[in-house]
Structure 1
Amino acid sequence: MKGKSFSLRDIAEFTGSRIVGDPTVTITGVAAFDSARPGDITFVAQKKLLKAFSDCRASAVITSAELEPLVMKLGNFSLLVSDSPQLTFARVANLFFEFPMPEPGIHHSAIVAPSARVSPSAHLGPFVHVSEEAEIGERSVLMTGVYVGRNVTIGSGCVIFPRVVILDGCVIGNNVVIHAGTVIGSDGFGYVADEKGQHVKIPQVGSVVIEDDVEIGANCTVDRATFGATRIGKGTKIDNLVHIAHNVVIGQHCILAGQVGIAGSSRIGNHVIMAGQVGIADHVTIGDGVRIGAKSGVAANVPPRTDVVGIPAIQKDDLFRLYANIKRIERLKKDIERLKEFVKDFVSRQGSSKGGGDRKNDG
């Protein structure tokens, strides 16, 4: 970021935003609103944050048309007005922050098999191991301690962080980022019980295919298929500590938050969002555009463009109705107790009335 600067006009043209204020303001960095200084640009997209925004010292603020008049009252800011302030801020941040690409070359401690093919523009850091018949594409970076198995293909522009393991036969597309400690191509969890109840391993002889523009977080595992391929679709982004089992197919441009677990042979559509700690049972199909709330357990197919939540996961609106009814239970219990007392008293009075009448007739 050091040394970069842009006028607000340049940033507005780049992001397609509307300027309110001085277009010649020089922007030298991006920051959160509570730490921004003169020269920085920040953003606010939620009305509830405006209270804390009053002490912001940024030179410019990215915001929405709805919040524009409110932000103007809080300080002497120039504004970039956007339909999606957070997205605009992300694009602006990418103008200033770039991954520091190391120089091409192979460190003297790296081990590269004679039959491996490594692009001259690639970088292999200390103690990288590249096995037989593997291929490393142009401008790809393999950091310290990365292991690449036999017949692995890694495309161009990839960044593989330290101690990533990519096992035999896996295919990594272009512009893929894999963070530290992740294992690609570990054996799928496949066993069958024999006559004595002992577990016999099913050979896992498939592969993993990771398509272009995927990012996988730290300490994830993507198991190879029993046969065929476990596949992660183009543009999908995966958080830390996610487990993807054998023969799973994940569509394009999905989001998987931390600690998601997907059991074997499930099919995930395009543009699916899974919040933290979601669990997907085996052989489940999740349709396009589905959103799954945190900690949900999905044991059945989910149709496209549905929001589900809970254990077992059901449609969000249904769960909220059930939850509202649960909150009424205590009140209903009290109503029932009052009703029981009323009935008991009513029956008692009726009995007394009948008994008194009999005695009167006898007299």
Structure 2
Amino acid sequence: MRLGELAERFGASLDAVELSDRPVLGVAPLEAATATDVSFLANPKYTPLLQTTSAAAVFVGADFQGAAACPLLRVPHPYLAFAKCIELFYPQPQPLGKIHPTAILGADVELGAEVTIGPYTVIGDRVRIGDRTVIHSHCTLYDNVVVGAECLIHSHCALREGVQLGDRVILQNGVVLGGDGFGYVPLPDGRHYKIPQVGTVTVEDDVEIGASTTIDRATLGATTVGAGSKIDNLTMVAHNCTIGKNTILCAQVGLAGSTHIGDQVILAGQVGVAGHLTIGDRAIVSAKSGISGSVPANARMGGIPAMEQRLYLRVSAALKQLPDLLKRVRTLEAKLKE
């Protein structure tokens, strides 16, 4: 593809029209790009790399001001343009629409058009799978599972009985949906009586769930993940949780039972949330924070226990001064005893 064609495809303003015939063959970060790669600048901290990059061109914001060693492609959202360039230059393989002979399908299974099922995958009774969905090898779908259209389920995923996926859901390797919730009744003799977990898990359209993440079925009703939400690797979502639309849960987040997360929430890595709490829409919680109480909408929180973000930063700064402050207090105490 030529640089001028790329600019036209993405509606970009090319500031070196005379270089429109320059070939573009791939995509790379600024520091690794060659003379046939396109790159992008979205984070201002990397601006100095524009002076040294060998890229054929770089996507920048429409209002970017600064010099560069290569032509600039001005667009409203350079990071999005970069992502779409990756799709353009590195297209994903198309599904084969075939059932591998080693796959096992139960009774009354309904398959849509062009469904692909990989080796040694087991599909239970009365499962429904939508058009153009791909299920890779060694997956297990229990009875009565429903999978929407154009889903992608990678190897070694397990979907327990009655789990429901919407359209265009992506499950990375090793996801477990619908395992029993962790519910027990303490008995007087110290034993624990298991509470039957008879609910399900419902995942709405355009959700992606990272590798080795587990989402437990509800005791009654459904544990739900709202449309457009993205859940990172090694995340734990307990029984009866609800996650809103377009919410982000980063790696190793843990939600205790009956936690309710709003829309467009961001929980950074290793955030832990106690059970029976509500986190309001658009809240953002810093990494490694511990949430012990409900969080209002639009809040910015951090720390253990979590507190308002600005207070958390002040507390963190003060902690570094504690050894010196303790020394000064002891000095003052000694003087008072004289």
The TM-score bracket by the shorter chain reads over 0.9
Do structure 1's residue 17 and structure 2's residue 12 form an aligned pair? Answer: yes
Identical columns (%): 39
Match of 1:39 in 2: 36
Residues in 1 aligned to 2:273 and 2:337: alpha-carbon distance in whole angstroms = 51
Q: Which of 209, 217, 220 is equivalent to 1:224?
A: 217
| CA distances 1:255-312 after superposition (whole Å, capped 9, x unpaired) | 1111111111000001111111111110110001011111111111000111111111
| Greater CA drift, 246-255 or 7-16 | 7-16
Contact 1:253/1:270 (8 A) holds in 2: yes
Shift of 1:27: 2.2
Partners of 2:116 and 2:99 in 1: CA distance: 6
How big is the shift at 1:18? Answer: 2.7
C-alpha distance in structure 2 between counterparts of 1:287 and 1:178, whole Å: 26
* Residue number in structure 2 paired with 1:300: 293
Count of paired positions: 336
Residue of structure 2 equivalent to 1:30: 27
Aligned to 1:359: none
- Corresponding residue to 2:279 among 286, 296, 309: 286
**Shift of residue 254, structure 1, vs aligned partner:** 1.0
TM-score (ref. length: structure 2): 0.93
What SS does the aligned partner of 1:106 have?
coil
By how many angstroms is 1:68 displaced?
3.9
Q: 1:12-161 to 2 correspondence within 5 Å?
A: 12-22=7-17, 23-64=20-61, 67-70=64-67, 72=68, 75=69, 77-161=70-154
Partners of 1:334 and 1:181 in 2: how far apart? 52
Structure with more of its chain in helix, by fraction: 1
- Contact kept, 8 Å, 1:173 with 1:212, in 2: the verdict is yes
Unaligned stretches of 5+ in structure 1? 346-363
- C-alpha distance in 1 between matches for 2:42 and 2:65: 10
SS in structure 2 of the partner of residue 26 of structure 1: coil
Q: Contact between 1:45 and 1:67, CA under 8 Å: does it hold in 2?
A: no
Q: Does 1:195 align with 2:192?
A: no
2:320 is paired with a residue whose SS is helix
Distance 2:119 2:327 in 1: 71
Offset at residue 99 of structure 1 (A): 2.2
- For 1:311, give the aligned amino acid: I
Aligned-partner Cα distance in 1 for 2:105–2:177: 19
Q: Verify the 8 A CA contact 1:68 1:81 in the aligned structure 2.
A: no
Aligned to 1:105, the other structure's residue is in SS state: coil
Computed over aligned residues only, the root mean square deviation of the Cα atoms, in angstroms, reads 2.0
The unaligned stretches of length 5 or more in structure 2 are none
Residue 272, structure 1, aligned to residue 265, structure 2: yes
Aligned mates of 1:174, 1:210 — CA distance in 2: 9
Q: Which structure is larger by alpha-carbon Rg, 1 or 2?
A: 1
Render the CA deviation track for 1:12-66: whole Å, top value 9, x for unaligned.
4444433221344432211112221222101123343344554422100112356
Equivalent pair of 2:33/2:53 in contact (CA under 8 Å): yes
